[in-house]
Amino acid sequence: MADHYEVLGVSRDATPDEIKKAYRRLARELHPDVNPGADASERFKLVTHAYDVLSDPEQRQRYDLGGDGSAFGGGAGNFGGFGDIFETFFGGGGGSRGGRPRSRRERGQDALVRVTLDLRDVVFGAHRDIDVDTAVLCETCDGSCCQPGTQPVTCDICHGSGHVQRTVRSLLGNVVTAQPCTTCQGYGTTIPYPCASCQGQGRVRARRTVSVDIPAGVETGLRLQLPGSGEVGPAGGPNGDLYLEVTVAHDDVFSRDGDDLLATLEVSMPDAILGAHTTITSLDGDVDLEVRAGVQSGDVLTIKGRGITPLRGGTRGDLRVGVQVVTPTKLDARSRALIEDFAKKTKAPEPQLAQFHQGLFSKLRDKFRG
């Protein structure tokens, strides 16, 4: 039998509109009123039949599956051979082909908790007791989902397989499929007496405390994984994981640059000229710091080993202290006279344009990072 697509001169993926246009063109060419020849009449019948099949979505689908495109009234009988093939592949009779029944025990979901740390915690690490609202094992049934003294029973519909078979008659023969049993939801067993505490889930919602040692060197956005600390799964299944997402709070004095800490030290003009010793309070406690004579704004004083311990261990970073010389804005008459006298004796040059320098904070930033 001629292929319907070839008769109409269209491809097998032709759209309905393309099929209709092809039919109209051929019908005008082959219609007996226009072309009375015997060959044209036969071709007209083939074109009309092809269009009748391919213009009907159901008939076209059956034809594409291997049908002959006729009236399809006795189509099922024409495809007995395909039925045998389906019987071979899907096994026509007994036994569940849906695989094993589902397990009630499933892994619990992961949980995410956000924790805010101070910069001191980042430097030294921290211990936290974190409250987590999650699913925990039901103490009444210990995850069995049943009332104490009872147990699940085999489903009398699927007989423990978790699936039921269904036979569907089609043009290609009898197709046997396996679907999850709606009585037991595919578990193969039912629970006639579910636990009253957890409603047969094997777990309940509760708040519990998780103790966490947070290592030094963490930073905002980092997630720490605690395997097995998430929620318990249904029917007492294994716990998921708990993730801690870290946020480091702003510190008014110190900031972080990699494994180093940055700070700014305000120095008076006399101390900048003459030099000085001072004590600063770092995150490690008090630290003695020497300000050398002639220090300039933007100079960086480095204190070794007072920075942050790297996350994966190693040598601590440094504490870098940027100097900012503070110029007095209010002077009494005597102080002003002394400074004027100092200026005359040092013969300081008048203010003038010099080589361009970046602003103080840009300069400090570049020195910190350099």
| Mean predicted confidence (pLDDT) in 89-110 | 66
| Mean predicted confidence (pLDDT) in 284-302 | 91
Q: What is the pLDDT at residue 171?
A: 58
Reply yes or no on whether the pLDDT at 36 is more than 90: no
Q: How far apart are CA 15 and CA 5, in angstroms?
A: 12
Reply yes or no on whether the pLDDT at 5 is more than 80: yes
- The answer on whether 198 is annotated among ligand-binding residues is yes
Q: What is the pLDDT at residue 7?
A: 87
In DSSP terms, 135 is beta-bridged to 205
SS3 34: coil
Reply yes or no on whether the pLDDT at 4 is more than 80: yes
Q: How many CA atoms lie within 13 A of 117 on its CB side?
A: 28
Reply yes or no on whether the pLDDT at 13 is more than 80: yes
Q: By 3-state DSSP, what share of the chain in percent is helix, strand and coil, each rounded to 5?
A: 25, 30, 45
Tokens coding 191: 């629970």
SS3 302: strand
80 or 129: which leads in pLDDT? 129
Region of 208 please: left (phi>0), alpha (psi -120 to 50) or beta.
Answer: beta
Q: How many CA atoms lie within 13 A of 307 on its CB side?
A: 27
Q: What is the pLDDT at residue 356?
A: 61
Which has the closest alpha carbon to 143: 194, 97, 179, 182? 194
| Mean predicted confidence (pLDDT) in 48-67 | 82
Burial class, 184, CB count within 10 angstroms (exposed 0-12 / middle 13-18 / buried 19+): buried
Specify which of 19-23, 34-38, 165-169 reaches the highest per-range mean pLDDT.
19-23
Tokens coding 238: 């294994």
| Mean predicted confidence (pLDDT) in 286-303 | 92
Reply yes or no on whether the pLDDT at 24 is more than 90: no
Q: How far apart are CA 168 and CA 175, in angstroms?
A: 5
Pairing of strands 223-226, 242-248: antiparallel
Helical ranges in the chain per DSSP H = 4-8, 16-30, 38-54, 57-64, 75-78, 80-90, 119-124, 269-274, 333-346, 360-369
* Average pLDDT of every residue of the chain: 83
- The answer on whether 158 is annotated among ligand-binding residues is yes
| Dihedral over Cα of 359, 365, 368, 369: its sign | negative
Q: What is the DSSP string of 128-158?
A: EEEEEEEEEE-TTTTTS-B-TT---EE-TTT
CA distances to 143, 154, 161, 162 from 184, rounded to whole Å, are 18, 9, 10, 7
Segment 160-201, tens digit of pLDDT: 999 988 776 655 567 777 888 989 999 999 999 999 999 999
Give the DSSP H or E segment for 269.
helix 269-274
| Dihedral over Cα of 178, 182, 183, 185: its sign | positive
Segment 332-367, tens digit of pLDDT: 889 888 888 887 887 777 777 766 655 544 555 565
| Mean predicted confidence (pLDDT) in 44-71 | 77
Give the DSSP H or E segment for 210.
strand 203-214
Q: 97: Cβ–Cβ under 8 A, 6 or more apart, which residues?
A: 90, 91, 163, 165, 176, 178
Q: What is the pLDDT at residue 365?
A: 58
* 130 alpha-carbon distance from chain centroid: 23
Give the DSSP H or E segment for 126.
strand 126-137
Reply yes or no on whether the pLDDT at 93 is more than 90: no
* 180 alpha-carbon distance from chain centroid: 30
Q: What is the pLDDT at residue 361?
A: 47
Q: How far apart are CA 50 and CA 187, in angstroms?
A: 50
- The answer on whether 141 is annotated among ligand-binding residues is yes
- Answer whether 0.85 is exceeded by the pTM: no
7 or 146: which leads in pLDDT? 146
284, 308 Cβ separation under 8 angstroms: no
- The answer on whether 138 is annotated among ligand-binding residues is yes
Q: Which of 46-55, 266-275, 327-336, 342-351 has the lowest mean pLDDT?
A: 342-351
Q: How far apart are CA 206 and CA 267, in angstroms?
A: 56
Q: How far apart are CA 220 and CA 103, in angstroms?
A: 40
Segment 193-234, tens digit of pLDDT: 999 999 999 999 999 999 999 999 999 999 999 999 999 999
